Amino acid sequence: MNKIVYVCTGTCKAEITEEQYKEGLVKCGTDGCTMKGHNFEKRTKCGICGKVFKEDVQHSH
């Protein structure tokens, strides 16, 4: 089953859970990251292979 994750699109490539996002972790705070201070972007994570992709991307096995 796929799940929602949030990712930093900068150099740190952080990935956080939907729960963490809802608890207020909404932007990157990693020193040196190119996207520090920018909001994370919503992604879908495949529950089978673990691949992270945009919501509008077709992904199947």
Which chain residues interact with Zn ion by CB under 5 A? 8, 10, 12, 28, 30, 33, 35, 46, 48-49, 51
Strand order in the sheet with 3-7: 15-17, 3-7, 41-45, 52-53
Q: How far is the CB of 42 from Zn ion (least distance, A)?
A: 15
Q: How far is the CB of 55 from Zn ion (least distance, A)?
A: 14
Q: How far apart are CA 7 and CA 40, in angstroms?
A: 5
Q: How far apart are CA 4 and CA 1, in angstroms?
A: 10
Nearer to Zn ion, 19 or 61 (CB): 61
Nearer to Zn ion, 19 or 60 (CB): 60
